[in-house]
Structure formats: structure tokens, C-alpha cells
Chain A
Amino acid sequence: MAEMQNSNPTILNAADLPTRLRPTATRKSEYGGIFTSALPLAPVDFESAPSSDSEDDNLLEEPIDEQEIYDLISSISDPEHPISLGELAVVSLPDIAIRPTLPDVPDSPLQTVTVLITPTITHCSLATVIGLGVRVRLEQSLPSRFRMDVRIKEGTHSTGDEVNKQLADKERVAAALENGALMGVIAKMMETCH
């Protein structure tokens, strides 16, 4: 690998990254915490067919939200460091937005995901690769009714406009994805996705 461009970036603590707080199912049952090991809840038997999938729960819809997008992309690793984009604050929750693509057509299911990327330093030549990685991850992981808009956050990169042009150009993105070496780098970045 060529000389690192930013060998000493600031790193966020993984525990401080935004996560989804689940209304833990265990809280509802009588003995959630540590006592579950002491006391199996219901004896396994005829009557106790798995009723945990209650009808109400099943009908409740959970729409795709910003946190879900964040969870998809924050675990991508940086091509320079074996550290995740979340920990490097390259992607952050407030910089993700989901909006209807056609606000004038209320019934349209089309939605646009906007992700703003903050490179660790303003002259980072790998910003395009990172943007491309985020884009590929989203395209692989979101349903087809979503449109992706991945951009460099304004004022965080010296050639931000140039990079944005590349990321927004479908032809160029498609051409880049044909490039074996580039795809190798992106596949490596996404190995850490979980």
C-alpha cells in the first residue's frame, strides 16, 4: 500500500456509537435479567406451543429508518485503517436522511437515502472509494424502491464537488464497478460488515 495519508486519525469509542435500543422482550417477562438462568420460564410441554409470535407483534410494521441505514454502513472498514467508518466518524447518524423521492405523489413508495460522508482529512484521495463502498453496500442491501444519494459533506473535502460528480454519475459508477482491482478493495472493505 502506498504511504498512508492520515496515519493518526481520531477514533470514537465503539460503545459511544449510536445504536438502536430495543424495547427488550426480556423486560416484559417477569424474570428478564440474570435470573433466567436460574429459572427456565415455562416447562417445555404439550400446551406451550411457541406462542411468542403473537399476532399483534407480527402485524406491527417496522419501516426502514436512518438508524437502520447507519447500521448497514457503519461497519464498513476504512481502506486505509482496519477501523470501521463509524468509529472514524466518516459516517454519522445525523448525516443520514430518508425522504420520499416524489413528495408530490403521496402514494409513491419511492424513497431517497442521502448519506453525507466526512473524510478524515480534507485531501483524502480515498474519499471516492469510500463513497463507492457505501453506495455498493446500500445497493446490495436496500429494496429497489430506494434511490441512493451518497455525497461528500460540504466543506469537508478540498475537491468535494469533483468527487460528488463522480459518485452521482451512474455511468462512471457502473464503469468503476467493472474495475476488478477497485472491486477487490471494496469487497475487502465490506468483509467486516455484520
Chain B
Amino acid sequence: MSALQTFMLVVDHDKEEAKRIAEGIAHEVIVDIETRKTTLIDTVQSLGEYINDEDPILRGKAISYLTAIIQALSPKYLSRQQIQVLTTFFCDRIEDGGAVDGLQALQGLDRFNKFLATQVAQALFSNFQDLQSRSQTQRFHVYQLLNDLMSNHRGAMRDMGDISLLGVVDIMTGEKDPRNLMIVFSILKVIMIEWDISNHVETLFDSVYNYFPITFRPPPNDPYGITAQDLKGRLQECISSTRHFAPHAIPALLDKLDSTSPNVKKDALSTLIACIHSYDPNTVSKFSITIWEVLKFEILNAQEEFLSETSLEALQAIAQRLSEGVTEVSQELPLAKYLQPITKECNEQLQEPQNKQAKPAQSILSRVSAASPVSFVLVVQTVVPPIFTLYQEADGIVKQRALLETLNVLFEAAITVFGQWTTRGGEAAIENPLLEFKDQFSDLFGQALMGAAKEEVSFRVTALKGFLRLSTLRDFFQENEIGLFVQYLDEILIKEESVGRDDLKKEAIAALAEISKHKPRLIVDITFPAFVATLPEEDEGSDARYMPTLETLAQISVERDIFETLFRRLFSKLSVLLQKEQPGSVAYPRAILVTLLYVMQQRNMEQDQSVDLYFDKVVVGLCRDVAASASGKAKNRILKDPTVLDTLGRLCNLLVRSVSTQKQEQVAENVYSLFSSPEDFVPIPFTQTTNADQERTIIISTYLLAGISKDCSNKIPHTDPDMSGLLLDLVHRSVSSADPATHQAYLRHLALLVNKFLSKQDVTIAEKLFDSLLQSQDTESQSLNPATIRTIFWLSKALILRLAPSTTHILTSLLALLSSPDQQTSATAAQGFSIILGEDDILSATNGATIRLLCRQRLFTTVIPLISSRIREVNIAGTDDSAAAKKSPDHIKPAHLTALAGILSTNPHGPQLPTLLPLLLQSLDLQTADSVAVRIATLDTLAVIIRDNGVVVIDQCGHVQSLVTRLLKTTSTSTGPGAVNSPRLRADALKCLKLLATNQVPGAAANARAPPGISPLLPVKAQVLRSLRAVLDDPKRDVRKAAVDARAAWLRGVDDAPEEDE
């Protein structure tokens, strides 16, 4: 059988197979042809018998065979003559299957010429008049051939002029398939842009506009991945392709805005915007006013937010196009003609600026004026003068405020057009038209800000915002004019009493902070002296009036220059205080330190060039003072106060983290000596004679230790050959420490050393220490004192976070403490579980602590099953009277529940939380006052469970009824004797109830509707609504509010029950 026959047999059944065979055969033939063993003529002749067959199918197969061979030939093989012969042949047989593909292959060859391209196009146009009656695939091939001709032989196609134009339009008319349309639209776009279309504008426009709006929705799992948006994009490019379409397109698109469907309107608007961007300014100008007349209604009577937003965009785009190339302002400009009716309409609406329609009018002005400098000038010229008049005649402050707001909108636009002081480059060539009104603005806004009654907060806030915008507007105010504004702000902050929520003061601070970015000198020269002057020498113990001042200073001092000034001023205040015999309350020096801390936290201290200066002054200088103070050499007790030491410690910590490694090593060496010589100060570790003041320096030492890098561990004193001595000394001090602050510091110090600095091979030192502490239990009562328990837990925290080898052993030992017969031991240990994963400022990732990702999961999977089985044991023992001998003490179950609450509170999205529901419900059954904390933690966890999983999961566990009942019990004020539900508990329980109603579907956004079907909450709805009605009378307002919200959520969200109790 010849290659041809094989091919023809297979081609019908299996395209892939046929292709493979064709390639195989073609390859053989080609080898033959290329080696000149056989000629192309022979091959064509071998087809002879089939190629003229009566059966079109058979002919098609034969042509496909020929096509397959041509496709496989190297592009240089065929001579010009051969191409010509083949092209003519294929054109004659163009209706036979495969011919189109053959032509496609031929037109891609180098020797295919213009004349042939024309011939092919002609053949296509004259033979495919009935294209739409053929199959999608056939049409697709024809379009592809056309597309290739367009891209490879555009000149030839264009020279055909109207023939190709009409030809394309004719054969595509009626096309409906999205894949085909994608190609058709891109072919047509080329014609629209490059052909002379003047005789057929309407035909061409109609050929594409017929498809508007596109309503195509891709079928699910569409293999071609064409979206409606793709089609819309291509269609939009066609409609906006040439200005010749404008007389047809713009009226038609505006007509579509009458549609009731927001989607159609949206498409019409975005196509309109595309047209505005693409047509030339003259054309846009011709239609500009018509467009405004129509869009006006979309904005003033906004149906949907996005429609008015898109309409505004269109208006702005027109203004931008009409501003192109305009350098001089004149009323004759097309832009001026366009803006005239707009400003007129807006001016009318703004006659009553406090009314609803004024808002859209403001938006319109804002958008068109921000389009270009010229546009801004034209708008300001017509809009601003009437506002002044209206303002003078306004009969109320509400109206005046609305007018100021209108001006603010224009100022905002001015900033867009002319930039701020800090804006780089892009200076506008035209003078800012607002300059003409500069003094008037300054007076008007100054008067409104400072002259209005103090209660008119929102009026003054509006004035303040306007003044601020003008102050940041580039090249507008002089320095002294901004200075005046700064003085106003200072006055508001320093002299005025608080009003209401202090909105004005908040805005004033924000304004100063904003100005500090643009004009830092003004802040340093005007605001700083005024504020620092109000700071007292010492705290007279009255009402801490320095606090607001410090807060303000802190917020405006983030800029580098200003911060340096702040630091110098505050540091000298502090130095003076430290030298005083009677410095007043320690709250004041502490507040100064907090201020510095706050600002340093806001800034990036590592990048600050002055960080070494701050380091020397604070870390070295003040630490030395602390040491001196602890040795009794200070004039006062400021640096002995634990709260001051804590704040100073945080400040040191931040600075130590920001300095170089060398400096950090220096800190490591001085971590206990605090930069003092041995004769001045005795460092803590290993000394016998210490007093409370001296011991308190461990607070500073701990913060310093937290700040230094891990690599400095060999510089820490007392760590050679290993840390065992130092750790043991710290444990002894921690266990016996009486002062809470010192004790806390010892615990963290110990944890830092074990977690961050102890080397891997030395971890056993800490583990042994843990065991020895546990063994210090009193053997008879099995009790431990609280300080020892705390030390045990902090040591455990340090080890568990780094996932030490003995983690499981540690956790089981800790759990064993809960079952201690000693009630105190059990209760203290129970509270300790929240420490293990709790966030800590010192042992934190910021400070380089070793916190392994898996430690949470490890803790969870180890501890939860143990707690769960222990509680079950206790429950069974409790119900089984005969086993009274084995009955465990009453405190054991609450202790386990407390421990559980502690773990869950630090691990809110733990795995498989719903399985814990039975345990959590038991926690809610606790009644007494000392269980409030546990119950609050439980409710927090429940809230997370409900939010993450939705009601469905709870329903699957079968706990809806029991959960709702317990929550309702927790909302009640009238509980049994000895039972307490604090307001916080009641409110939290109500929040959980609300979440149940709003989170019926897992993971869905709040307020998601329940899926069709009966809500699992329905059986309890009546019960909930009835109980909540009583809670509406709760004595506390917050609880009532939560009850109202919960009740509304149940009324709205839990469907299909008759309103039986209304």
C-alpha cells in the first residue's frame, strides 16, 4: 500500500494518528524529494486518481495529504514557480478540506509574494460567502489564514482596499463563536486603523457594534479559557480604534446608559472612556458637552457607586484630552467651552452646599479641576469667587462648613496638579490660580479655625484641614504664613481645653506631623520652644499635665532633625531631674523616657547616623548612673524605681539592637557591671552582700542581655568554661527574691541565657537544673512554693521554645504538678501554662530568641490528650461513689481546665479545636468568681472556633444545644449562690451567640447567609430569643448593646421560624 493510501485510510478515524503517519510518510517522501529521488510533480501526479474523484470527502483527504507534505518541507525548498502552481491549485480547490491549511503553509514561505496573497484573499472572499453555514473549525481555519495574510502580507491586503474591507466584513457577518470572534475582532481592528475606510464607516462600525454589549458567559471548565472580559477588551479596541466612528459610537454608547442593567452601563462607560482616550481631541471636543449632559445624571442621581465613579473618570478624561498642547488659558478654548456648563451646574448645586446633591457636585469639580493646570485655572476662576460670596451671606455654620469643604476639595485637586513641597520635579508651567486668593484664604480659614465657638468642632476641623492642604501645597504660602498656622495649632494644643472626643486636637497633632515632613524648621523653631516651655521642672504631683505635651512632641518628632532636637531637650530635662534632691514623682522622668522610647520605635534607628551618640548617652551614661544610684551615690531615688528601670531598660534594649557588633560586645562584657569600675559598683552574680537596690539592677542587665546578638555569648561574664555556675546562682536568687519586679527580671534573665545563649551541647545543664528544681518538692505534702513554680515554668519556656530534646519529659512533669494534692501548688502551676507560649517582650523573636516553628504543635499534641484523659478520669471517679477512696481532690479538674485555657489562649487557631468542645463546655460550667479568667479565655477560644468552623462543625459534633444553653446561662445576672458572671463574661458570651448566627457557614465572611435548608440553630431559636429578651435589661450598657446585636443577628440570620414571641 502506498503512503498515500495509508494516510487516507487513517485520517478519518484518528486525527492524531493521521498526523503522526502523515509526518512519517511526509518524512519519507521529503527525504525522497529533497534528495531529488522523486519530484513534487510525481507526488502530485500520484494523487491524480483521488484528487479528481467525485466524492468531496475523498478529494479532501487527498488534498490533506498534499498539505501535510508541504507543511513538512523546509521553508526554502519550494521554488517561486512551485509555490505559484500550488497556490493556484489550492485556490481552485479552496473548498476542499485541507486546502486552507495548505495555503496557510504556503503563505508563510519566503518566496510567497504579494500577487499570490491577493489571489488567495480573492479566492477566500469569493468562495466563502456561505462561511457561517460551515462548522466552527472550518471557519476558524479560514480566519486564521486571513489573520496570517494580514500579518505577513499587510501591504497586499491594504492595496486591495474596499475589496478586502468588504470581503472581511462579508464573511465574518453572523459569526458567534467566541474563539473565532477573538480573531475576527483583531483582523477588523487592523482594517479600521490602517485602511481608508471613509466610504464604509457605517458598515464597518455596525459589523462590530452589533456585538455590543457582550453577554457571553464561558461554560464551566471551558477548555479555551476565553473570558467575557477578553472579548469585551477586543471589541472595545475596535470601537475606539478610529475617530471616524465617533458620530456612530458616542451616541450609541450614551443610549446604552438608559439600560436597566448596571453591567451594560458599566461596559458602555468603559468603552466610552476608551474612545475618549483614543479619538483625537477635536473629535472628543465635538461630543464633550453631549457626553456631559448624559453623564451628569449618572453622577447626580448615582444608582451605583461604581457607575458614578466611572462617569467621573470619563469627565476627567475629556478634560485631560482637551488640555493636550494647551499652554495658555482662554475662554475660547474647547476646554473652556466644555467646562462652562459643568461649572455652571456645580455652582447651582453648591448654592445649598449642605444638601445631598452638593457631594456629587464637589466630586465633579474635584475630578475635572485635577485634570490639568489649565483645567484647574478655568474651574477656579468660575467656582471660587461665588463661594466667597455665599460664605459671607451664609446663614449658618453648617452651610459655611460645607463651603469650606468645597474649597478643601479644590485644594486637594491643586495638590494633584501643582504638587507638595516635597514633590520632586514636574513644575507646572502655569501659575497657580489660587495665589490670587491667598490672603483671603488665609483670613477665612484662620478666622474659621480660631474665631469659631469652641464647640463647633467639626467646623474647625474642616478649616484646619483646608489650612493644612494650603500649607503643604508647593510654592503657595510663604514660610511666615505657614508659621502662623503652626502657631494656631500650638495654641489649640497648649491653651485650649478638651472638647468632646478631642477631634480637633488629634487633627492638630496630625497636621503638625504632616508639616514636619515639609517644613521641619518651622516645627523646631516655633512648636518646640512653645511646648518645651510648658514642661515643668518636676512633677508637682497634681494632674500630670505634661503628658499631653509629651504625647504631642512624640508624634511630631519622627523626622530626623526634629528627633535630634527632641532628644537633646528631653535628655537635659532628665539630667536636671536626676540631680535634684527632691525630684517629685517618678512618673515624670519615666514619661520622658517613654516619649523617647516611643519615637525611637517609630523611627528606623539602625539607619540613624546619630545612633552612637544616643548609645553613649543612654546606654553607657544612664546605666552608669543606675549603678551609682544602686550603690547609694545618687541624690534621689529615681533610678531605683522599678518602673523607671523597666522603661530605661527597653530604651537600652532598642539602642543595643541598633548598634554595631563591636559595641554589642562591649555591652556583653558590661552586662552586669553596667559600665562601672569594680570599686564603684559590685555586679550581682556571686556576690554575698547585696541589698534590694543593688539587686534591682538585674532589670537593666536583662534588657541589655536581650539586645545583644547571639554571637557575643562568649563575652558574657561568668560563662567560662560553661554557664552552670551562673545559671545556678540566678535560680537561687530567683527562688528567694522577694521584690516582684526583681523576681520577674531574674526569671527572664534565666530564660534568655538558657534559650538564646546556651550552646546545644550544654542544654543538659539546664535540663538537670529543671529536674533538681522539681525534686525540691516537699515529699510529704508534695507542695512547692510559688516562686519555685514560676522559675520552673520560665525554665521550661526557654527549653520548649528551642525544642530541647527533653521537651516531652518537661511537659509531662509540668502536668503532674496539676495533680498535686496541695491546692496552691496545683493552682499556681495551672496558671503557668499560659506562660509557655505566651508572647514576651524580652524572650522574643525581635530579640533573637530561639523560637522553633513546631514548638506550638508539639506542645498541643503532647498536652491536650493528657489533659483530656485526666479530666475524664476525674469525672468518672466523681460519679462512682464506691471508689470514694480514690476520689481526687476538688481542685484538680478546675486546674486542668485552667491549664487548657492558658494553652488555647496562646494558640488560637490550633488544629482540631472542635474536638475540644466537650472540655470547653465543662469550663463554662465553672461558676465561681475565681474561674472568671478561665471562662473568659474559654469564650475567646469558642469565638475562634465558631469563626473558623461555622455552626456546621459544631452541629456535626452534636453540641449546638449544649453550647447555646451554657452560653445563655453565662449571659444571666441572676445565677445561683456563689456564682458570678462578670459583665465582661456576659458580653463575651453574647458575642459568641452573635457569631453563631452570623457564621453559619464555615470560613465565610460575616453575615453570610445560611445555605438553603434548615439551619441547625433553628431548634434553639425561640429559646435564645426569649432568654436574650431578659438580657436586654442588663444593668450594664455594654452587655445590653451586645445583647441587642446578638438578638438582631438571630432574628435576621436564623430563618424560617414564625416570630412567636413578638
- A interface residues (Cβ-Cβ under 8 A, vs B): 7-13, 15-16, 19, 21, 30-31, 33-35, 37-40, 43-47, 49-50, 52-53, 57-58, 61-64, 68, 72, 81, 83, 139-145, 177, 187, 190-191, 193-194
Which of B593-601, B629-637, B759-767, B864-872 is the interface stretch? B593-601
Asked if A50 meets B933 with Cβ closer than 8 Å, knowing A15-B458, A35-B594, the reply is yes
Binding site for A on B (CB under 8 A): 301, 352, 354-357, 398, 401, 457-458, 461, 500-501, 503, 547-548, 551, 554-555, 587, 591, 594-595, 597-598, 601, 647, 650, 740, 744, 786, 790, 828, 831-832, 834-835, 838-841, 932-933, 936, 982-984, 1029-1030, 1032-1033, 1035-1037, 1040, 1044-1045, 1047-1048, 1051-1052, 1059, 1062
Say which residue of A39, A62, A64, A142 sits within 8 Å of B597 (CB atoms).
Answer: A39
Complex: A72 Cα to B1047 Cα, angstroms:
13
Partner of B554, one of A35, A64, A72, A143: A35
List 28 interface pairs A-B (beta carbons < 8 Å), by A numbering: A8-B355, A10-B398, A11-B354, A13-B401, A15-B503, A21-B501, A34-B555, A35-B554, A35-B595, A35-B598, A37-B598, A37-B601, A38-B597, A39-B650, A40-B841, A45-B744, A46-B831, A47-B740, A50-B936, A52-B984, A62-B1037, A63-B1035, A64-B1040, A68-B1037, A141-B1047, A143-B1033, A177-B1059, A193-B1048
- A30-B587, A35-B598, A39-B594 known; A49 and B650 CB under 8 Å? no
| A57: B residues at CB distance < 8 A | 983
CA distance A90 to B354 in the complex (A): 16
Which of these, B744, B832, B933, contacts A49 with CB under 8 Å?
B933
B597 in contact with A72 (CB, 8 Å): no
Given contacts A15-B503, A68-B1037, 11 further A-B contacts (CB under 8 A): A8-B357, A13-B458, A34-B555, A37-B598, A43-B841, A45-B835, A49-B831, A52-B984, A58-B1036, A63-B1035, A140-B1062
* Complex contacts, A40 vs chain B, CB 8 Å: 841
**Given A15-B503, A43-B744, A62-B1035, A34 and B357 touching (CB < 8 A)?**
no
Those 6 A-B pairs whose CB atoms lie nearest each other, nearest first: A143-B1033, A38-B598, A61-B1035, A143-B1032, A141-B1044, A62-B1037
Checking A44, A139, A187, A191 against B838 with a beta-carbon cut-off of 8 angstroms, the contacting residue is A44
- How far, in Å, is B873 (CB) from chain A's closest CB? 26
Q: A residues within 8 A CB of B839? A: 44
Chain A residues whose CB sits within 8 angstroms of the CB of B598 once the complex forms: 34-35, 37-38
Q: Does the CB pair A144–B1029 fall under 8 Å?
A: yes
Give the contacting residue for B1051; candidates A19, A46, A140, A142; CB below 8 A. A140
Cα A10 to Cα B399 with chains together (Å): 10
Q: How many angstroms between the C-alpha atoms of A109 and B839 in the bound complex?
A: 48
Q: Quote the shortest CB–CB distance from A97 to chain B (angstroms).
A: 19
Residues in B neighbouring A38, C-beta threshold 8 A: 594, 597-598, 601, 650
Nearest Cβ in chain B — how far from A49, in angstroms? 5
Instruction: Flag if A143 contacts B1030 (CB, 8 Å).
Output: yes
A-B contact count (CB 8 A): 127
Q: In the bound complex, do residue B832 and residue A141 qualify as a contact, i.e. CB atoms below 8 Å apart?
A: no
CA distance A8 to B351 in the complex (A): 12
| Distance between Cα atoms of A16 and B786 in the complex (Å) | 54
Q: Looking across the interface, which residue of chain A has its beta carbon closest to that of B599? A: A38
In the bound complex, CA of A28 to CA of B554 (Å): 20
Asked if A7 and B1040 make an inter-chain contact with CB atoms under 8 angstroms apart, the answer reads no
Are A53 and B458 also in contact (CB < 8 A) when A62-B1035, A64-B1040, A190-B1048 are? no
Partner of A50, one of B457, B595, B932: B932
Q: Indicate the member of A49, A58, A177, A190 with the most B CB atoms within 10 Å.
A: A58
Which residues from A are CB-within-8-Å of B1030? 143
Docked CA distance A12–B72 (Å): 78
Tell me which residues across on chain A come within 8 A of B352, comparing CB atoms: 8, 10
Q: How far is the CB of A41 from chain B (nearest CB, A)?
A: 11
Q: A34 touching B500 by the CB < 8 A rule?
A: no
Contacts of A13 in B (CB 8 A): 398, 401, 458
- Contacts A8-B355, A35-B598, A38-B598 hold; do A139 and B1029 have CB atoms under 8 A apart? no
Q: How far is the CA of A78 from the CA of B1048 in the complex (A)?
A: 18
Q: A78 → chain B, closest Cβ, in Å?
A: 11
In the bound complex, residues from chain B placing their C-beta under 8 Å from that of A45 are 744, 790, 835
Separation of A193 and B1051 alpha carbons in the complex (Å): 13
Determine how close the nearest CB of chain B comes to the CB of A85; give it in whole angstroms.
14
Q: Which residues of B contact A30 (CB under 8 A)?
A: 587
CA distance A81 to B360 in the complex (A): 14
Distance of A30 from chain B, by nearest CB (Å): 7
Select A21's contact among B398, B500, B595, B832, beta carbons within 8 Å: B500
User: How many Å lie between the Cα of A34 and that of B354 in the bound state?
Assistant: 35
Establish whether residues A33 and B551, one from each chain, have CB atoms under 8 Å apart when the complex forms: yes
CB of A16 within 8 A of CB of B587, answer no
Q: Which residues of A contact B548 (CB under 8 A)?
A: 33
